[in-house]
């Protein structure tokens, strides 16, 4: 798969405790992105943040949070990202979704590397 140099970054800000059905929402989003043929997705877990409610979520020892901020990033061509947005809308309650244009410099599979399957939980 090749990505055009001018692509789009879809960034999704959600909470670690957000769910879609019986799965964590971040996992459901990544699996749906894979199912729909997007180029790839990455989930980042943040040690601290706040959102629309201004409630602070932190991993500090004195105040353990069970709802740390999660960020899902997906890069692909604009048309494929736009086609994915209705799926995403149906999965999310709260959160923040952003799009930005990005310039893809490098996207290729390392020769000899094997793709790992994500377990279905």
For 98-120, write each residue's pLDDT tens digit.
999 999 998 887 776 565 544 44
How far apart are alpha carbons 103 and 44 in whole angstroms? 21
Angle made by CA atoms 66, 70, 71, in degrees to the nearest 5: 175
Q: What is the pTM of this model?
A: 0.82
Q: Tokens standing for 15?
A: 């909470």
- Asked if residue 76 lies in contact with residue 1, where contact means CB atoms within 8 angstroms, the answer is no
For 7-63, write each residue's pLDDT tens digit.
999 999 999 999 999 999 999 999 999 999 999 999 999 877 777 877 776 666 555
Domain spans in the chain, listed from the N-terminal domain onward: 6-103
Assign domain 6-103 one CATH number from 3.30.70.120, 2.60.260.20, 3.30.450.20, 3.40.50.20.
Answer: 3.30.70.120
The dihedral formed by the CA atoms of 81, 83, 89 and 95, expressed in degrees to the nearest 10 = 10
């Amino acid at each position: 798969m090749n990505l055009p140099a001018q692509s789009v970054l879809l960034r999704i800000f959600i909470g670690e405790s957000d769910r879609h059905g019986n799965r964590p929402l971040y996992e459901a989003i990544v699996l749906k992105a894979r199912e729909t043929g997007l180029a790839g997705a990455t989930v980042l877990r943040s040690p601290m943040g706040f959102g629309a409610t201004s409630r602070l979520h932190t991993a500090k020892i004195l105040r353990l949070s069970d709802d740390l901020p999660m960020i899902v990033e997906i890069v692909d061509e604009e048309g494929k990202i736009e086609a994915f947005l209705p799926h995403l809308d149906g999965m999310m309650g709260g959160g923040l979704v952003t799009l930005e244009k990005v310039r893809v410099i490098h996207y290729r599979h390392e020769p000899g590397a094997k793709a790992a399957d994500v377990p279905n939980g």
